[in-house]
């Protein structure tokens, strides 16, 4: 088994199966509806016949001899007492009945028409269009024929009563023909129709008078031509509809006679799918492995839904046969036939409209074949496209700023469970033995070993020492995960590729996964109870791909907007802001403390000597230590000032969100694009640790007092709001007097609403501005808003000034009671207060009514999010499904997997969205490169070669190779 | 060899032409070399190499699954879009569907958008003179009877009486005669016109017929385009500091508008991609899809989504020469593979149809291979490594 070559599926053919084929592949015929006998053994030729496969461990399959787990199971079959229709094909059956001759079964199309449809079918096949459209058109054409073009037989209409009954509708002579004729012969004086005498009728219709009399007396039924003549003469209709039920056996006979070439015109593959096979005479019985029974705690067996359904089918089948043999009346036979049809129908699909679903004893509808395939949890989406896997773990995440962004902290109990396979060789023999001798309980231990003969041995506390001795080259050891192993880490919803990244393991105590906070943005994770999944990789190819392509540092740039998605967040930003905003000074101890978690172990030259004669280092100089030595940058920063970096030294500007933040921090972005992912990873790690040190140095906290404003300011805010209320009052009065002028394209009411909204939002802003005046730049909330770490001035306005207008559906709150929002207000009160304007700030507290309006606005937000997630999830699924096959080729084109060209050059210029952000063009500055190359400013030949792109960057596949890499790329500090 | 208009020697041309650089960059290299004048062939070689290295570095990597990346890049910001259907578009007082509903509408390729609209640019004097611009407005905006005058019903005589407003008639360039004629044509009644007064009534006195006539009268479009219910005129600044009038319409009839005098057909657009497809062809429709999706995202502050992703979506939607929607009725429903279709939506029907038509699944795509458990043919799954193709003894290295 172990070394057998895996088989590879080449292609899959779809088709119908012939009854004979069902019998051939069947392991046994099933005749009894019972499953187990009194002793609990499966009954022979019953639904649980051991030839259908085994599910109980220890038993042997009577067909293939394998045990449960390795035996896939075998089909059985039921011989149906009478043919029944397959529900899935009812529409096609109807079409075929309507489109073929009732006598000779040929398709009712002339040779020319056939040719035309044959061409259309070929074309549709080629273009991948829906063949059913052509079939439908062909049938529509065929239905127009009254008579068969081949045998001349008159065609009748076919009625289909859903789901599985077909009638032939014929026009036959009504039973009251004599009365009708007599009635018509009476004539109608009012309408001016003359009486017709039998003589006249006989003359007109060319029928003998005696015949006419016989007809009139009802003793002779007129023949068809006679009927038509009479109808014509008297201008009456003598027919009535007669429906003749087509039994499945009739339909089967009808279909059997359809010639192969006729159905091919309809796009049906005659070779693989003869139409008569849509009427079942044999029913395949799925193997027991597909419908396992479960033993309940009390020893009772509970059967699968499919088994229940099969029991029903066999019972009715049996009864049908007995009744037929006993010569039961046709009525009973037909009833049983219908019942059999119902059970076979619901066996295949239990959600047919118009048929009551078959139910379990408890009233729950049974889950039959089609229900097993359908939908999200169905076979296709639930078990084939996505599967449950081994070697996976899930737990709560928590932050750990001491980890590198490439790493993940894995709880030791997870590391001990999720093993990695070690192929023992001469070189790692010692190591392998050490793992095994540690046993399964101690940390870097092993759980299993596999001998070269394929036997798998469990390592236990007892046998670990002896087993370790035995381990030889050629064995396999399933060792525990250790630091440096690569794993895949994921947080749902996996909306983009950065939701699944590879991390290096750091084994840690306790029970949570630990991440560096800078990887929160790509995962969209926070630590309020989020859980994440981890997958341990099981072969070398997967591990290599994960390291090279999926590691966090390889995903720093987002393909969505071509800038970094990983960068400093929240407190890191506040920290950097504090460190660089006023360029504070630090003494030696402080400077060393700031840099102690970075690679920098020696301080640069002091920035200056202070008045006390002590050397000091500025925030700029401390930060500059982290930058690559030859970095030059100039741009407008977060705070609005210029940020200037020359030769790796920050000269001017504040470092905050737009500089080092997530989603396009300029410095991080440049370092990633120019110096590579590894350098960028080092930079992000160091910026975050430096920022943490800085924020701890300065101290940073926020409390309610930080949002409280002086009495005087509060009074001014109240005044502003009062003013706004007055102005709203004026507007309303103007409106009521009819003096308000409407804006172009708006009604008067809309105009009023818009003006009120404008006034109130201005009032809120003014209140905010007044509050702002009283906040110093050192106020932590202001620092956070200015640096872009968290929150905005609007949040501050709402906390200190006024919360402002609450809105539902983009309008002031208008719902509630008739003509008013709450019973606290007069009807038709248009004032600000009555429609959800919140005058208070969050610090001063909301009144009950304000609170209620605020909750209304808040509720809308929640509903919106809930609706949005489902809608956008479906949008995403459709987009992925439509685009998943597209791939860039070596020739630069974008093609799908059947090699259809979709784009000749990706994005019209072949540029990667990862490398170039959407707002710049792909500008390669030839002149700049020329300056560099031609004026040869290179220190060494190697540097030049590197610039020319002739040397490959060293592949740095593990965090542990860091030190070597860092030494190669740059001198650690400026000294 | 291609013609080179720069003063550089043939060796340099040979070297530069040998690179994989696109025309634009090659020309830039020549220009730089020409500027310097003193560059040797070695210099040229080094420069070309350096530029090429940078160029190749920014290209998409072969075998990259660009489709999935693009789909994710559009789908992921979808979670950040608003659900609020109506939002005031920055321009004019016209309500336009925005955010996620609009994005879904575009990707679905709906036959008519929820809120159809057009942006009509004018040419020559129509763009600069307000009167002229208004002329165009009246030719576009559907004029109904209530805009032209008052309608009253005289129940005693069973007559409908219209008294037209002379000023509006003049403004909208329509005469009472024309109004009467249109009424006669549309309602099939005899209208008596007397100056600005028009009177008509049902043939036989019937109260119901009278009301019926009034109802029908209200629906008649006297001037302009039926579908366009409102036109807003706005003065906008041009890049060169000048001003022009631009019309924004509620409702769209793209083909009709392009025919109207004074309309600049080269700039006028509409938000219905199917109308653009009908009138301007598939390439214009592709451009419209890119433009509309980009605007929808930009409106919500997500303008940083790379256009290349939107292009790919637009390209696959228009790949067959007609607009196909993304989803079960479009691209996903017309895939070759049965398994891929079954795994997407309406599973059972696809399987049954496949059986009838005797379809064969060749297992080329992504979804099918996931289902049967084979590696997919994208990215690292699309290459095979052959071992031992280089003799280790010679020390040759594969590059």
Q: What are the tens digits of pLDDT across the range A424-469?
A: 999 989 889 999 999 898 888 999 999 998 888 899 888 888 888 8
What domains sit in chain A, N to C, each tagged with a CATH number?
A: 19-75+286-293 (4.10.860.120), 86-165+248-278 (no CATH), 175-237 (1.10.260.40), 304-388 (no CATH), 389-411+482-548 (2.40.40.20), 419-480 (3.30.1490.180), 556-700+924-975 (1.10.274.100), 709-863 (1.10.132.30)
d(CA A255, CA A268): 13
Crossing angle (nearest 10°) for helices A330-348 and A305-325: 160
pLDDT exceeds cutoff 50 at A544: yes
- How many contiguous H segments (helices) and E segments (strands) does chain B have? 18, 11
pLDDT exceeds cutoff 90 at A695: yes
Beta bridge partners of A513: A397
Question: Looking at the complex, does the CB of residue B16 fall below 8 Å from at least one CB of chain A?
Answer: no
Q: SS3 letters for A341-362?
A: HHHHHHHHCCCCCCCCCCECCC
pLDDT exceeds cutoff 60 at B133: yes
Question: Looking at the complex, does the CB of residue B65 fall below 8 Å from at least one CB of chain A?
Answer: yes
Q: Which residue of B has its CA nearest to A897?
A: B365
Question: Looking at the complex, does the CB of residue B258 fall below 8 Å from at least one CB of chain A?
Answer: no
pLDDT in tens, A105-127: 888 888 888 888 888 888 888 77
d(CA A327, CA A54): 40
Could you tell me the sign of the dihedral formed by the alpha carbons of B79, B84, B89, B90, in that order? negative
pLDDT in tens, A218-247: 777 777 777 777 777 777 777 777 778 888
Yes or no, beta carbons of B313 and A879 under 8 Å apart: yes
Residue B316 is predicted with a pLDDT of 92
Q: Where does the pLDDT of residue A396 fall: very low under 50, low under 70, confident under 90, or very high at 90 and above?
A: very high
d(CA B151, CA B187): 15
B63-115+271-331 and B143-219 share one CATH topology? no
Residues 24-43 of B with CB under 8 A from A: 25, 28-29, 31-33, 35-36, 39, 43
Question: Who has greater pLDDT, A730 or B93?
Answer: A730
Per DSSP, the three-state class of A41 is: coil
pLDDT exceeds cutoff 90 at A515: yes
Q: Where does the pLDDT of residue B396 fall: very low under 50, low under 70, confident under 90, or very high at 90 and above?
A: very low
Yes or no, beta carbons of A884 and B365 under 8 Å apart: yes
pLDDT in tens, B158-206: 788 888 887 778 777 788 888 888 888 887 777 777 777 888 877 777 7
Question: Looking at the complex, does the CB of residue B60 fall below 8 Å from at least one CB of chain A?
Answer: yes
Residue A694 is predicted with a pLDDT of 92
For the residues B132-142, what does the mean pLDDT come to? Answer: 84
d(CA A278, CA A276): 5
* Claim: this prediction has a pTM higher than 0.90: no
**Rounded to a whole number, what is the distance in Å from the CA of B210 to chain A's nearest CA?**
30
d(CA B313, CA B107): 8
Full DSSP string of A864-913: HHHHHHHHHHHHHHHHHHHHTT-EE-TTS-EE-TT--EEESSGGGT-B-T
Q: For residue B2, what are the contacts with CB-CB under 8 A and spacing of at least 6?
A: B17
Q: C-alpha angle with apex A387: A58 to A525, nearest 5 degrees?
A: 135
Annotated binding site of A for Zn(2+): 61, 64, 71, 74, 101, 104, 148, 151
Partner-chain residue, chosen from A8, A497, A743, that has the shortest CB–CB distance to B374: A8
Q: Which residue of B has its CA nearest to A946?
A: B50
The mean of the pLDDT values for chain A is: 84
The token pair that represents A934 in the structure block = 């031609």
Q: Find out whether the peptide bond into A620 is cis, omega within 30 degrees of 0.
A: no
The token pair that represents B238 in the structure block = 């041009």
**Rounded to a whole number, what is the distance in Å from the CA of A11 to chain B's nearest CA?**
5
Q: Which of A756, A902, A918, A917 is nearest to A837 (CA)?
A: A756
Q: Which of A46, A60, A65, A75 is nearest to A301 (CA)?
A: A46
* A746 contact residues in B (CB cutoff 8 A): 93
pLDDT exceeds cutoff 50 at A765: yes
Partner-chain residue, chosen from A496, A896, A949, that has the shortest CB–CB distance to B76: A496
The token pair that represents A948 in the structure block = 């020319």
Residue B343 is predicted with a pLDDT of 87
Residue B4 is predicted with a pLDDT of 64
* A743 contact residues in B (CB cutoff 8 A): 93
pLDDT exceeds cutoff 80 at A501: yes
CB B257 within 8 A of CB B118: yes
Partner-chain residue, chosen from A896, A907, A926, that has the shortest CB–CB distance to B51: A926
CB A723 within 8 A of CB A763: yes
Q: Which residue of B has its CA nearest to A264?
A: B357
For the residues A68-72, what does the mean pLDDT come to? Answer: 80
* A269 contact residues in B (CB cutoff 8 A): 356-358
The pLDDT > 70 percentage for chain A reads 92
pLDDT exceeds cutoff 80 at A679: yes
Secondary element (H or E) of residue A284: strand A279-285
* Class for the domain spanning B143-219: alpha beta
Residue A528 is predicted with a pLDDT of 94
Residues 94-123 of B with CB under 8 A from A: 94, 100, 103-104, 107
Phi-psi category of residue B205: left, alpha or beta, with phi > 0 → left and psi -120 to 50 → alpha: beta
The mean of the pLDDT values for chain B is: 82
Residue A947 is predicted with a pLDDT of 63
* A907 contact residues in B (CB cutoff 8 A): 60, 306-308, 311-312
Question: Who has greater pLDDT, A743 or B305?
Answer: B305
Question: Looking at the complex, does the CB of residue B283 fall below 8 Å from at least one CB of chain A?
Answer: no
Residues 150-209 of B with CB under 8 A from A: none
Q: SS3 letters for A61-93?
A: CCCCCCECCCCCCCCEEEEEEEEEECHHHHHHH
pLDDT exceeds cutoff 70 at B390: no
- Say what the ipTM of the complex is: 0.87
Phi-psi category of residue A768: left, alpha or beta, with phi > 0 → left and psi -120 to 50 → alpha: alpha
For the residues A817-842, what does the mean pLDDT come to? Answer: 88
What phi and psi values does residue B162 have, to the nearest 5 degrees? Answer: -120, 125
Annotated binding site of A for Mg(2+): 526, 528, 530
At CB < 8 A and 24+ separation, what contacts does A820-827 make?
A821/A853, A822/A849, A822/A852, A824/A849
Yes or no, beta carbons of B107 and A876 under 8 Å apart: no
pLDDT exceeds cutoff 50 at A974: no
The token pair that represents A329 in the structure block = 């009346």
pLDDT exceeds cutoff 90 at B69: yes
* B32 contact residues in A (CB cutoff 8 A): 926-927, 930
* A562 contact residues in B (CB cutoff 8 A): 306
Question: Who has greater pLDDT, A125 or B87?
Answer: A125
Q: Choosing among B25, B45, B57, B59, which should be mutated to test the A contact, i.e. which has the most A CBs within 10 A?
A: B59
Q: Which of B31, B58, B24 is nearest to A949 (CA)?
A: B58
10 Å CB burial of residue B110 (0-12, 13-18, 19+) is middle
Q: Which of A273, A245, A256 is nearest to A100 (CA)?
A: A256
Residue A773 is predicted with a pLDDT of 85
Full DSSP string of A188-254: BTTTTBPP--HHHHHHHHT--HHHHHHHHHTSS---HHHHHHHHHHHT---EEEEEEEEPHHHHHHH
H helices present in chain B, as ranges = 10-17, 23-36, 41-58, 66-78, 99-108, 124-128, 130-140, 145-148, 166-171, 176-187, 207-219, 254-259, 273-280, 282-299, 307-317, 338-344, 347-357, 366-372
Q: Which of B349, B383, B345, B385 is nearest to B367 (CA)?
A: B345
The pLDDT > 90 percentage for chain B reads 10
Question: Looking at the complex, does the CB of residue B314 fall below 8 Å from at least one CB of chain A?
Answer: no
Beta bridge partners of B243: B237
Per-residue buried b or exposed e for A317-352, using 16+ beta carbons within 10 Å of the residue's own CB: bebbeebeeeeeeeeebeebbebbbbbbbbbbbbeb
d(CA A59, CA A68): 7
Yes or no, beta carbons of B358 and A889 under 8 Å apart: no
CB B260 within 8 A of CB B222: no
What phi and psi values does residue B15 have, to the nearest 5 degrees? Answer: -65, -50
pLDDT exceeds cutoff 60 at A962: no
What phi and psi values does residue B355 have, to the nearest 5 degrees? Answer: -65, -45
For the residues A307-323, what does the mean pLDDT come to? Answer: 89
Count of CB atoms situated within 10 Å of the CB of B300: 17
d(CA A435, CA A485): 15
Yes or no, beta carbons of B356 and A268 under 8 Å apart: yes
Per DSSP, the three-state class of A608 is: strand
The token pair that represents B14 in the structure block = 């040979």
Question: Who has greater pLDDT, B46 or A663?
Answer: A663
Yes or no, beta carbons of A907 and B364 under 8 Å apart: no
For the residues A608-631, what does the mean pLDDT come to? Answer: 87
CB A131 within 8 A of CB A139: no
Q: Find out whether the peptide bond into A760 is cis, omega within 30 degrees of 0.
A: no
Residue B33 is predicted with a pLDDT of 76
Crossing angle (nearest 10°) for helices A677-698 and A962-969: 100
* B366 contact residues in A (CB cutoff 8 A): 884-885, 897
The token pair that represents A800 in the structure block = 């200190």
Annotated binding site of A: 61, 64, 71, 74, 101, 104, 148, 151, 526, 528, 530
Per DSSP, the three-state class of A166 is: strand
H helices present in A525-604, as ranges = 540-545, 571-580, 588-594
Q: Which residue of B has its CA nearest to A899?
A: B364
pLDDT exceeds cutoff 50 at B108: yes
Query: What residue ranges do the domains of chain B occupy?
Result: 10-58, 63-115+271-331, 143-219, 335-382
d(CA B299, CA B103): 11
Phi-psi category of residue A816: left, alpha or beta, with phi > 0 → left and psi -120 to 50 → alpha: left
Q: Where does the pLDDT of residue A973 fall: very low under 50, low under 70, confident under 90, or very high at 90 and above?
A: very low
Q: What's CA B129's distance to the chain center, in Å? A: 29
Residue A953 is predicted with a pLDDT of 60
Question: Who has greater pLDDT, B328 or A691?
Answer: A691
Q: SS3 letters for A434-484?
A: HHHHHCCCCCCCEEEEECCCCCEEECCCCCHHHHHHHCCCCCEEEECCCCC
Yes or no, beta carbons of B68 and A886 under 8 Å apart: yes
For the residues B12-36, what does the mean pLDDT come to? Answer: 77
Q: Which of A510-514, A724-728, B25-29 has the highest mean pLDDT?
A: A510-514
E strands, A566-709, where?
585-586, 608-609, 615-618, 633-636, 642-646, 649-652
Count of CB atoms situated within 10 Å of the CB of A102: 19
Question: Looking at the complex, does the CB of residue B352 fall below 8 Å from at least one CB of chain A?
Answer: yes
Q: Where does the pLDDT of residue A930 fall: very low under 50, low under 70, confident under 90, or very high at 90 and above?
A: low
Q: Where does the pLDDT of residue B399 fall: very low under 50, low under 70, confident under 90, or very high at 90 and above?
A: very low
* B304 contact residues in A (CB cutoff 8 A): 560-561, 563, 664, 917-919
pLDDT exceeds cutoff 70 at B392: no
* Class for the domain spanning B63-115+271-331: mainly alpha
| Least confident range of A29-33, A243-247, A962-966, B311-315 | A962-966
Q: Which residue of A has its CA nearest to B93?
A: A745
CB A106 within 8 A of CB A100: yes
- How many contiguous H segments (helices) and E segments (strands) does chain A have? 32, 31
d(CA A240, CA A171): 6
Beta bridge partners of A294: A302
What phi and psi values does residue A83 have, to the nearest 5 degrees? Answer: -65, 145
* B49 contact residues in A (CB cutoff 8 A): 948-950
Q: What is the CATH number of domain B335-382?
A: 1.10.150.390
d(CA A34, CA A28): 15
């Amino acid at each position: 088994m172990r070394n057998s070559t895996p088989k590879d599926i080449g292609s899959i053919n779809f088709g119908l199966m012939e009854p004979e084929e069902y019998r051939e592949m069947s392991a046994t015929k099933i005749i009894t509806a019972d499953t187990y006998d009194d002793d609990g053994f499966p009954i022979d030729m019953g639904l649980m016949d051991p030839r259908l496969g085994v599910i109980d461990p220890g038993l042997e399959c009577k067909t293939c001899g394998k045990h449960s787990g390795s035996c896939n199971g075998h089909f059985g079959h039921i011989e149906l007492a009478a043919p029944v229709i397959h529900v899935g094909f009812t529409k096609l059956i109807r079409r075929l009945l309507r489109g073929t001759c009732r006598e000779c079964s040929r398709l009712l199309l002339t040779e020319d028409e056939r040719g035309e449809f044959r061409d259309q079918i070929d074309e549709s096949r080629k273009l991948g269009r829906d063949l059913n459209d052509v079939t439908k058109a062909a049938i529509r054409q065929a239905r127009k024929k009254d008579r068969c073009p081949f045998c001349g037989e008159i065609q009748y209409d076919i009625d289909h009563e859903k789901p599985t009954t077909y009638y032939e509708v014929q026009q036959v002579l009504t039973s009251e023909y004599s009365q009708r004729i007599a009635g018509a012969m009476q004539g109608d004086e009012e309408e001016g129709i003359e009486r017709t005498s039998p003589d006249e009728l006989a003359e007109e219709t060319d029928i003998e008078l005696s015949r006419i009399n016989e007809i009139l007396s009802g003793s002779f039924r007129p023949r068809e031509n006679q009927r038509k003549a009479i109808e014509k003469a008297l201008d009456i209709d003598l027919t009535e509809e007669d429906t003749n039920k087509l039994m499945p056996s009739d339909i089967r006979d009808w279909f059997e006679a359809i010639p192969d070439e006729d159905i091919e015109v309809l796009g049906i593959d005659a070779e693989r799918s003869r139409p008569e096979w849509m009427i079942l005479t044999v029913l395949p019985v799925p193997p027991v492995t597909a419908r396992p029974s479960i033993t309940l705690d009390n020893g009772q067996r509970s059967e699968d839904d499919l088994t229940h359904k099969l029991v029903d089918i066999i019972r009715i089948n049996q009864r049908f046969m007995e009744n037929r043999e006993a010569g039961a009346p046709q009525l009973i036979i037909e009833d049983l036939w219908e019942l059999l049809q119902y059970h076979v129908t619901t066996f295949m699909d239990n959600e047919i409209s118009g048929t009551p679903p078959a139910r379990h004893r408890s009233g729950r509808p049974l889950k039959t074949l089609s229900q097993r395939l359908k939908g999200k949890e169905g076979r296709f989406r639930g078990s084939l496209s996505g599967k449950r896997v081994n070697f996976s773990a899930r737990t709560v995440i928590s932050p750990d700023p001491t980890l590198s962004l490439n790493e993940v902290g894995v709880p030791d109990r997870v590391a001990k469970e999720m093993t990695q396979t070690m192929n023992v060789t001469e070189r790692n023999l010692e190591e392998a033995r050490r793992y095994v001798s540690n046993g399964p309980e101690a940390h870097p231990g092993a759980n299993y070993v596999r001998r070269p003969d394929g036997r798998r041995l469990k390592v236990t506390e007892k046998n670990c020492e002896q087993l370790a001795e035995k381990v030889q080259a050629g064995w396999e050891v399933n060792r525990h995960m250790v630091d440096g192993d690569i794993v895949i880490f994921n947080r749902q919803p996996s909306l983009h590729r950065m939701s699944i990244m590879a991390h290096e393991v750091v084994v840690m105590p306790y029970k949570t996964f630990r991440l560096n906070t800078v990887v929160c943005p790509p995962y969209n994770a926070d630590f309020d109870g989020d859980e994440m999944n981890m997958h341990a990789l099981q072969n070398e190819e997967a591990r290599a791909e994960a390291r090279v392509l999926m590691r966090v540092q390889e995903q720093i740039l987002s393909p969505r907007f071509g800038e970094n998605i990983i960068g400093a967040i929240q407190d890191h930003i506040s920290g950097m802001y504090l460190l660089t905003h006023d360029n504070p000074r630090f003494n030696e101890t402080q400077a060393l403390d700031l840099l102690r978690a970075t690679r920098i172990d020696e301080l640069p030259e002091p920035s200056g000597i202070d008045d006390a004669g002590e050397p000091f280092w500025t925030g700029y100089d401390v930060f500059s230590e982290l930058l690559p030595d030859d970095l030059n940058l100039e741009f407008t920063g977060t705070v609005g000032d210029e940020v200037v970096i020359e030769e790796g030294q920050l000269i001017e500007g504040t470092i905050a969100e737009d500089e080092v933040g997530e989603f396009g921090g300029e410095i991080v972005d440049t370092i990633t694009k120019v110096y590579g992912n590894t350098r960028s990873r080092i930079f992000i790690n160091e910026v975050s640790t430096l920022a943490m040190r800085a924020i701890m140095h300065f101290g940073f906290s926020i409390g309610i007092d930080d949002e409280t404003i002086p009495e005087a300011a509060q009074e001014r805010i109240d005044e502003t709001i009062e003013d706004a209320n007055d102005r709203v009052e004026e507007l309303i009065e103007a409106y009521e007097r009819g003096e308000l002028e409407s804006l172009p394209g708006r009604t008067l009411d809309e105009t009023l609403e818009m003006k009120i909204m404008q006034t109130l939002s201005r009032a809120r802003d003014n209140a905010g501005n007044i509050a702002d005046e009283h906040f110093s730049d050192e106020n932590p909330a202001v620092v956070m808003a200015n640096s872009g770490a968290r929150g905005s001035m609007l949040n501050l306005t709402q906390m200190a000034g006024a919360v402002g207008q609450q809105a539902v559906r983009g309008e002031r709150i208008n719902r509630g009671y008739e003509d008013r929002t709450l019973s606290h207000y007069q009807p038709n009160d248009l004032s600000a207060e009555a429609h959800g304007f919140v005058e208070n700030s969050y610090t001063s507290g909301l009144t009950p009514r304000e609170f209620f309006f605020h909750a209304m606005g808040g509720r809308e937000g929640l509903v919106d999010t809930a609706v949005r997630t489902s809608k956008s999830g479906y949008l995403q699924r459709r987009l992925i499904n439509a685009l998943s096959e597209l791939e860039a080729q070596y020739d630069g084109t974008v093609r799908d997997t059947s090699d259809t060209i979709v784009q000749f050059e990706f994005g019209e210029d072949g540029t990667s969205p990862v490398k170039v952000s959407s707002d710049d063009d792909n500008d390669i500055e030839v002149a700049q490169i020329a300056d560099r190359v031609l004026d040869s400013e290179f220190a060494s030949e190697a540097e030049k070669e590197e610039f020319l792109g002739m040397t490959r960057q060293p592949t740095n596949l593990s965090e542990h190779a860091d030190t070597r890499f860092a030494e190669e790329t740059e001198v650690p500090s400026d000294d | 060899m291609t013609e080179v208009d720069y003063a550089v020697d043939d060796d340099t041309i040979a070297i530069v032409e040998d690179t994989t650089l696109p025309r634009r960059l090659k020309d830039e290299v020549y220009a730089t070399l020409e500027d310097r004048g003193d560059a040797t062939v070695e210099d040229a070689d080094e420069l070309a190499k350096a530029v090429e290295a940078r160029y190749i570095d920014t290209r998409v990597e072969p075998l990259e699954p660009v489709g999935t990346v693009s789909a994710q890049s559009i789908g992921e910001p979808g979670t950040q879009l608003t659900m609020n259907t109506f939002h005031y578009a920055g321009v004019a007082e016209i309500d336009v569907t925005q955010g996620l509903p609009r994005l879904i509408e575009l990707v679905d390729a709906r036959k008519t958008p929820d809120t159809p609209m057009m942006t009509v640019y004018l040419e020559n004097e129509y763009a600069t003179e307000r009167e002229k611009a208004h002329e165009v407005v009246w030719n576009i905006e559907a004029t109904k009877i209530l805009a032209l005058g008052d309608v009253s019903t005289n129940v005693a005589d069973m007559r409908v009486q219209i008294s037209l407003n002379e000023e509006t008639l003049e403004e909208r360039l329509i005469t009472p005669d024309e109004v009467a004629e249109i009424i006669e044509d549309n309602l099939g009644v005899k209208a008596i016109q007397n100056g600005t007064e028009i009177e008509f009534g049902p043939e036989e006195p019937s109260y119901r017929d009278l009301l019926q006539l009034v109802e029908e009268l209200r629906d008649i479009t006297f001037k302009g385009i039926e579908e366009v219910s409102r036109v807003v005129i706005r003065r906008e600044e041009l890049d060169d500091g000048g001003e022009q009038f631009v019309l924004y319409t509620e409702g769209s009839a793209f083909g009709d508008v392009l025919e109207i005098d004074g309309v600049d057909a080269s700039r006028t657009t509409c938000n219905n991609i199917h109308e653009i497809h009908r009138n301007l062809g598939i390439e214009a429709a592709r451009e419209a899809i890119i433009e509309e999706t980009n605007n929808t995202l930009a409106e919500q502050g997500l303008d940083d989504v790379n256009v290349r992703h939107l292009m790919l979506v637009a390209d696959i939607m228009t790949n067959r020469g007609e607009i196909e929607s993304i989803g079960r009725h479009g691209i996903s429903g017309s895939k070759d593979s049965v398994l891929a279709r079954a795994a997407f939506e309406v599973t059972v029907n696809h399987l049954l149809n496949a059986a009838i038509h005797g379809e064969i699944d060749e297992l080329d795509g992504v979804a099918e291979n996931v289902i049967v458990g084979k590696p997919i043919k994208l990215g690292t799954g699309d290459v095979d490594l052959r071992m031992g193709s280089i003799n280790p003894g010679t020390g040759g290295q594969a590059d």
